[in-house]
Structure 1
């Protein structure tokens, strides 16, 4: 069943919405896991790495003098729990960026995604991404996909650092302000009902993605309209 939507901005979640959850939990996590320790040890003077390590120690209650092995143990436990911890996302993003640059990683979107994104852009819509993955990881992932380099399709990238937690209303209000848009001119596509609730509370339009085989396929989306594919969204672009 098609869902009509009127908007100027289309903001997109990634995991479970644009790509399979396994793209992150299997492909990307497995790539980052053995590289976290070596990356920390090989970049001791990188301020971004130092700050991320300090944040891990602070959040985990580790001593400031704790070694890399203790930090990595915490990071691995967070990965096992799928915790959206900012320092973890930062370090993963750095590692993934290098992996994409080396051609060792490639992002595979659902078949219906890229044609829809291009169609919406051709109609004049602006596209942005809001993901728990770091902005650096987002940009890197779209630079190397099975459909080529998709970076030019997106006009904005948001994560838990520059916007805030994905299940909280103020994050969407912050994005609205950054986009310089009216809340009602923005639609958010996500597979997580709680994220859609937060976006709706900020005045956004919402569409839930219930993709077969994904973790939230049978979730209760409440009043949010639901589709299983992007081509079921009938987008009318606000001039």
Structure 2
């Protein structure tokens, strides 16, 4: 059965891990406190602050305590949905101000554009919020790449290392899992996607193997029609 859709991870796959850890996270840590103080009453922000209080079991936490919790989550790289949503809002301001440009590997840019032209449906699945995903690709160093994508998925579909998350995504796509090619640099994510019935390809940009999966060091070496 031939591949119809390609589902790609971002961090370490289309984009450098260092961009996330050395640029995006520090930017969010620096700007998030003032953003939360200034926007705490805004509807979408207030909703996420309420989620932080709920997730941390501190229903009475004031804004300063919520900021403290969020900075702690950033420091430990917690995959918390309200944190990801708030980070996305802060990054949006940075992208719009021209202070941030999304990093996407040139080989990924070229391949994504080619696959789109060839008729493959392209989707993103990342632990970063859908908003943050759109910003990385929409305000990338290579320009606006969002036209090549048909949709985005984040942790609201489930954790990336659990097979059920990929079952959920395949159902949302209304495409047989066996017709979806999943790309990632993390073997546990690839294992979960395969368990859900997807075809997998690992990205090991520094070389090496992702055990049990076809592994390449560049998007240029991926031919979706060969799977």
TM-score, length-scaled by structure 1: 0.90
Q: What residue in structure 1 maps to residue 99 of structure 2?
A: 104
Q: What is the deviation of 1:165?
A: 1.0
Equivalents in 1 of 2:162, 2:221: separation in Å? 27
Q: What residue in structure 1 maps to residue 35 of structure 2?
A: 39
The yes-or-no answer on 1:195 pairing with 2:189 is yes
The yes-or-no answer on 1:12 pairing with 2:8 is yes
Equivalents in 2 of 1:228, 1:237: separation in Å? 17
Query: For residues 142-179 of structure 1, what are the alpha-carbon distances to aligned partners after superposition, in whole Å with 9 as ceiling and x for unaligned?
Result: 11111111010100100012x11111111111111111
Select the residue among 186, 190, 214 that pairs with 2:180.
Answer: 186
Asked if structure 2 preserves the Cα contact closer than 8 Å seen for 1:186 and 1:205, the reply is yes
Classify the secondary structure of the residue corresponding to 2:29: helix
Asked if structure 2 preserves the Cα contact closer than 8 Å seen for 1:188 and 1:206, the reply is yes
Unaligned residue ranges in structure 1 (runs of 5+):
none
Q: What residue in structure 2 maps to residue 123 of structure 1?
A: 118
Equivalents in 2 of 1:152, 1:43: separation in Å? 30
Q: What residue in structure 2 maps to residue 135 of structure 1?
A: 130
Q: What residue in structure 1 maps to residue 212 of structure 2?
A: 223
Q: Which runs of 4+ in 1 moved over 4 A?
A: none
Equivalents in 2 of 1:190, 1:175: separation in Å? 15
Which structure has greater helix proportion?
2
Q: RMSD of the alignment, in Å? A: 1.8
Select the residue among 195, 198, 201 that pairs with 1:204.
Answer: 198
Equivalents in 2 of 1:196, 1:12: separation in Å? 11
Classify the secondary structure of the residue corresponding to 1:112: helix
TM-score, length-scaled by structure 2: 0.94
Classify the secondary structure of the residue corresponding to 1:236: helix
Asked if structure 2 preserves the Cα contact closer than 8 Å seen for 1:93 and 1:137, the reply is yes
Classify the secondary structure of the residue corresponding to 2:224: strand
Asked if structure 1 preserves the Cα contact closer than 8 Å seen for 2:163 and 2:192, the reply is yes
Query: For residues 40-61 of structure 1, what are the alpha-carbon distances to aligned partners after superposition, in whole Å with 9 as ceiling and x for unaligned?
Result: 1212332321121122222223
Unaligned residue ranges in structure 2 (runs of 5+):
none
Q: What is the deviation of 1:117?
A: 0.7
Equivalents in 2 of 1:99, 1:112: separation in Å? 25
Asked if structure 1 preserves the Cα contact closer than 8 Å seen for 2:14 and 2:108, the reply is yes
Equivalents in 1 of 2:103, 2:36: separation in Å? 28
